[in-house]
Structure 1
Amino acid sequence: MHAEQAYAFSHTLLRDAAYQLQLPEDRAQLHALALRCFEDWLGVPELPRISDAESNDQPHASDPFAAELAEHAARGVESALKSTKQGLYLLRAGLFARRHDDSGLAMSAFLKAASCDGLEPHMQRRARLYAINEMVLCGMLEEAERHIMMLRDIAREAGDVASEFRTEHALAGIHWNRGRMDQAEEVLRRALSLAARSGRSDLASECRGGLGVLLCDSGRAGAALEHLIAAVEHFRATRANVRVALNLGNLALCYARLNDFDAARRYYEEALAIAQGEGARRREGMLQCGIADLFRKRGRPELAEPHYLAALKLLSETGDQRGEVIALNNYANLLAGVSRHADATKFRERAYELALEMGNPLLEQVALMGLAKTSSNAGRHEEAAARYRRSLDISRALGHTYREAASSCDLADSLLALNRFDEARALALRVLELCDSGVVGDERFKALVCLARIEEADGHLGKAENWILEALALPPTLETRLGAELARLFLARIQVRLGKLESARAHWRQGIRQLALIAPPEVVKTHTDEMRTTCKAEGVAPLDEH
């Protein structure tokens, strides 16, 4: 609460002096009076509903002052309701801060609530779980893991299956955020077993939804489908509609990864209709972003842009800064892809500002990657390298191996542009090490292509050919579809220089035919011109001539 709202005078030193001059019992009476005045004015809110079902607790007029009201309750005169009121307002303060994306304040309030004797033990356990979630958002992964272990022991001693389950779920999230997908999967499967043994189909379905997303992120979208479909069926049966929308959105993401655009769009649109019907505007915002991402990756920017704009409006209006950072960054990628670089820069800078305001290093790292792309696209490779290096430092500090791999690939590209071949090579090889140790996704493909480009630039054509062949041997994904065809054309040019003309011609024809299906004509022309320049330099006929 601001001083001018709380006292007749606002000078900090005068206020503190006046406060300290009060006798302890008088101060306690004044705190009790302040609390009573606020409750007479605004009413007494209900204790938030804490259950395993979805909760749609309505905000209360006192919520903006809840942290201060908890302090008044704690410092007021002794009464039977003193600690109960303190716990009530601490929980509401945490939920208010969480709604407004103030993770630091939310975490502090929830931790205090977890130790408040005025709350029932099950409420204390849930408050600690909420605090853990905010720690993860703040990037405090080690502290979060410590509290997870503490809460798991408390839950087991109390026989609280739901809380024990959620500690496992939270622990999987820690591993996930660090890019340790194998460990995350092991913990989620353990949680699924616990839910099944306890006869808790609701918890099992919640876990299957999480497991489905993890499998999808791990490059196993096909294996993810059965888990997400089972989760959707359960939540439909129990009429948990927002959870239905959540899992349908994740199901759409899986089908996008499986290159089934029609199914992905169908599930996104169904999820969006449910979210709109339920008034779940934050969920609606993220689904709009998902649909936009789908169109962007399919090369339909004109269809993607309205969905990004709708997502940004919803996420801004609902105060979902985390979602807004993601949407801003993805929209900027679309703008950069259609050469609207000034607009892309504006949105990336806004994403970075928001991430810094939130104090969230995970989001800061994402936004930094976007800004680095802006620098790279503008040919400012030293600036790009500095931003990618900062992104890499954050990833390593958080122990996030997937993001370390992504940052390393991009930093290697920038160093290649600066002709710093040895540094670039070391980073790309490090990415392969990370992939061998469990990092999944498209980073192996990117690292292999990067190594090929490094060796080609450094004059080692045979090594470049081997790296690119290894990249092309990987199963293609929606994300690597364009990159694979560009890599095939790059391979054809290398093989021309190596004198392997038959192989070069075969790779060229296959690559240019596929590129024409997914890229604008000017891109096809650029690569055709590059091929002809290479052939001319080698004294051979162009590969597109019979």
Structure 2
Amino acid sequence: MKALTPHGFVPAETAYLFRHALLRDAAYQLQLPGDRARLHAVAFQLLKALCGGAPSGTRGGFRTHPSDPFAEELAGHAAAAETGVPDGKRAALAAAHRLYLRRAAEFSQFQGRPVNAIRLWRQLAELLEGAERGEAIRRSADLIGQFDHAGKAEKGFQEARAIGRATGDRRLEGRAVVGLAGVRTETGKVAEAEKFLGEAIRILKTCRDPHVLGVAYSSLASHFRQTGRLDLAVKTHREAIALLRRAGEGASTAVVLANLSQVHRERGEMKESERLLLRALAHHRASAQKRSEAIALSNLSIIYKITGRVQEATRAVEAAIAIHRQTGDRRYEGIALGNRAILFQETGRIEEAIRGHREALAIHREIGNRRSEGVTLGNLGELLRECGSANEARALIEAALLIHRQVNNRRSEGVALGGLAHLLDDEGRLAQASALEEKALAIHQEVGNREFQGHAIAHLATLDASQGRIDQARGRFREALQLHRAIGDSRMEGSTLCHSALLELEQGRSDASAEAWRRGIELLRGIGDTTLLRQMDAEMLAARSRAGLPPLDEAGGPVAREN
């Protein structure tokens, strides 16, 4: 029997002995040191030949090679063979050791095995000097920041930056400074992050490398989005895309397109957001970029949720979570779990939603993601408010607000103020609730958050109605509905129609009320929001009872009374 290799067949017994690690190592240990080194040299040459020879390296971006699944083994053979060959051949084996260790690190990263990749980059750094050593340290730090704890990456980026300065390698120095900016962003020090990004771009402009400069511009654009400066974010993302296209970097361009999609989503431009995200997702899949694919799927689930496509949202976020767990990406797993928890919340799966938010919160705290910790605290607080746990809800939303202000997350600050306004409304403190919601609305307008502008205006309409400002309430309901429809926010359109129906009923306009109600509950049923449906049904039933009117049937018409 023979075993198939990438370039032909070998006897199965031989393949088994060489591929089974324990048997292979035992066989080597039976040999004298010199013979053992020569066996490693033979194994290295055979395995390299079977894989089609040596790869060309990784300059110009990583491209897979048939030897990549065996790269770590090849590196081990090359290292073990160095002591058993003449001096003239040792340099070649040492170079092969470094080459295949680099390939193994790249391949582990490509396959989504970050822990293994970090270990291999660190091993490689010990074999290198100068700027090459600094780059291996930077690559390791980059993965630590993405997959472990941002704060733990600080030392590696600082070391890489120092090496870049000492060797005059401006490219290395600039990329390390971009990494330091990422650490500051994750740990909530956004002012320092912006200074680092400015420094990095000044350094990288001297390198005349559109790829690394484009990546730095992409980081700056994301920073602008996270701090609520959406017009600047759009402009800077487009500059990043132009640079990356000039560099021929399709994979990096797709990542920036996906990031730009988030800006359009936050501005309420759902069609453009979805278009860009689907383009990016197609590229991620075509180039087997699993991590980027999962991030895009999680963001796509948000668009589907907002626009009422619940089944599509569920499939997308479940697929994202599965990939993040496969690749070990804890940061984005936590974010995707939070997205799924909101989906559970809006489809009546309350216990699952609470568990999901708590699981996401634990991950954000574990890895030091302060921004996402604040967002999740606020989301959990809003859910508990809806469940009637006002005291716990207030504590969580206030804790979220503190973090939002520390990390300069203006968008989420506005959302949190709106949550506190709802709590005041629930307590009957209507004037205070209106004042706080007006502050929230001002922030939403400042950062271009059209989705939550609609939320705030709809809430202000109900507050106006409760305080007897009927004409103002009607105007605000119309304004909110325009925003909901422009964005495609089916849930909020349904909710606002139902609240406007309650207002019209109180004003004695039962026919107008029934028509608004019919359209509202139709939307809410379409997206499966059973919790909101129950709440609205109870409010309408009580309102019609007070007015001496029969209940409405499922179609929104009055139930016929028996004679």
Give TM-score, length-normalised by structure 2. 0.76
Alignment length (residue pairs): 494
* Higher mean C-alpha deviation, range 184-193 or range 216-225: 216-225
Stretches of structure 2 that go unaligned for 5 or more consecutive residues are 6-11, 84-89, 514-563
Match of 1:138 in 2: 147
What is the aligned-residue identity percentage? Answer: 27
Counterpart of 1:214 (choices 203, 223, 235) is: 223
Q: Deviations over 1:119-152 (max 9, x none)?
A: 4533222222222222222133233212112223
How far did residue 295 of structure 1 move?
7.9
Does the alignment pair 1:417 with 2:424? no
Aligned partners of 2:62, 2:310: CA distance in 1, in Å? Answer: 42
Aligned partners of 1:4, 1:125: CA distance in 2, in Å? Answer: 43
Q: Deviations over 1:456-507 (max 9, x none)?
A: 2233333322221211222527863132223222212223223344654553
The aligned amino acid for 1:127 is A
Question: Aligned-pair RMSD on alpha carbons?
Answer: 3.7
Match of 2:373 in 1: 404
Match of 1:114 in 2: 125
Does the alignment pair 1:37 with 2:46? yes
How far did residue 435 of structure 1 move?
2.8
Does the alignment pair 1:104 with 2:115? yes
Match of 2:100 in 1: 89
Match of 2:336 in 1: 367
Aligned partners of 1:5, 1:146: CA distance in 2, in Å? Answer: 45
- Structure 1 residues 9 and 92, CA gap change in structure 2 (3 angstroms): closer
Q: Deviations over 1:82-117 (max 9, x none)?
A: 32221111111122222223222222222111111x
Aligned partners of 1:234, 1:332: CA distance in 2, in Å? Answer: 29
The aligned amino acid for 1:287 is L
SS in structure 1 of the partner of residue 228 of structure 2: coil
- Structure 1 residues 348 and 420, CA gap change in structure 2 (3 angstroms): same
- Structure 1 residues 5 and 494, CA gap change in structure 2 (3 angstroms): farther
Does the alignment pair 1:71 with 2:40? no
Q: Is the 8 A contact 2:457 2:480 kept in 1?
A: yes
SS in structure 2 of the partner of residue 384 of structure 1: helix
- Structure 1 residues 230 and 305, CA gap change in structure 2 (3 angstroms): closer
- Structure 1 residues 409 and 282, CA gap change in structure 2 (3 angstroms): same
Q: Is the 8 A contact 2:82 2:94 kept in 1?
A: no
How far did residue 284 of structure 1 move?
4.3
How far did residue 70 of structure 1 move?
0.5
Q: Deviations over 1:318-345 (max 9, x none)?
A: 2211111122212323433454433432
Q: Deviations over 1:61-92 (max 9, x none)?
A: 22221111111111114223332221111111
Does the alignment pair 1:240 with 2:254? no
How far did residue 16 of structure 1 move?
4.9
Q: Is the 8 A contact 1:285 1:314 kept in 2?
A: no
Q: Is the 8 A contact 1:401 1:439 kept in 2?
A: no
Counterpart of 1:287 (choices 257, 266, 269) is: 257
Give TM-score, length-normalised by structure 1. 0.78
Does the alignment pair 1:385 with 2:349? no
- Structure 1 residues 158 and 288, CA gap change in structure 2 (3 angstroms): closer
SS in structure 2 of the partner of residue 332 of structure 1: helix
Aligned partners of 1:286, 1:232: CA distance in 2, in Å? Answer: 7
Match of 1:275 in 2: none
Match of 1:462 in 2: 431
SS in structure 2 of the partner of residue 107 of structure 1: helix
SS in structure 1 of the partner of residue 91 of structure 2: coil
The aligned amino acid for 2:257 is L
Match of 2:57 in 1: 48
The aligned amino acid for 1:394 is I
The aligned amino acid for 1:329 is S
Match of 1:260 in 2: none
* Higher mean C-alpha deviation, range 367-376 or range 174-183: 174-183
Q: Is the 8 A contact 1:205 1:230 kept in 2?
A: no
Aligned partners of 1:194, 1:521: CA distance in 2, in Å? Answer: 47
Match of 2:161 in 1: 152
Match of 2:547 in 1: none
The aligned amino acid for 1:371 is R
Counterpart of 2:467 (choices 498, 504, 508) is: 498
| Larger of the two Rg values belongs to structure | 2
Aligned partners of 2:13, 2:125: CA distance in 1, in Å? Answer: 31
The aligned amino acid for 1:416 is R
Q: What does residue range 175-186 of structure 1 map to in structure 2 within 5 Å?
A: 175-186=184-195
How far did residue 388 of structure 1 move?
0.8
Match of 1:162 in 2: 171
- Structure 1 residues 468 and 393, CA gap change in structure 2 (3 angstroms): same
- Structure 1 residues 99 and 425, CA gap change in structure 2 (3 angstroms): same
Aligned partners of 1:472, 1:148: CA distance in 2, in Å? Answer: 40
How far did residue 365 of structure 1 move?
0.9
Aligned partners of 2:401, 2:496: CA distance in 1, in Å? Answer: 28
Q: Is the 8 A contact 1:351 1:367 kept in 2?
A: yes
Match of 1:173 in 2: 182
Match of 1:191 in 2: 200
Q: Is the 8 A contact 1:97 1:103 kept in 2?
A: yes
- Structure 1 residues 437 and 296, CA gap change in structure 2 (3 angstroms): closer
- Structure 1 residues 344 and 517, CA gap change in structure 2 (3 angstroms): closer
Aligned partners of 1:48, 1:334: CA distance in 2, in Å? Answer: 40
- Structure 1 residues 208 and 306, CA gap change in structure 2 (3 angstroms): closer
Counterpart of 2:66 (choices 61, 68, 77) is: 61
Q: What does residue range 14-29 of structure 1 map to in structure 2 within 5 Å?
A: 14=23, 16-29=25-38
SS in structure 2 of the partner of residue 82 of structure 1: helix
Stretches of structure 1 that go unaligned for 5 or more consecutive residues are 243-279
Q: Deviations over 1:411-438 (max 9, x none)?
A: 1121112211111111211222223223
- Structure 1 residues 309 and 409, CA gap change in structure 2 (3 angstroms): same
Q: Is the 8 A contact 1:381 1:415 kept in 2?
A: no
- Structure 1 residues 522 and 81, CA gap change in structure 2 (3 angstroms): closer
- Structure 1 residues 523 and 377, CA gap change in structure 2 (3 angstroms): closer
Counterpart of 2:399 (choices 411, 418, 430) is: 430
Q: Is the 8 A contact 2:237 2:260 kept in 1?
A: no
Aligned partners of 1:518, 1:65: CA distance in 2, in Å? Answer: 50
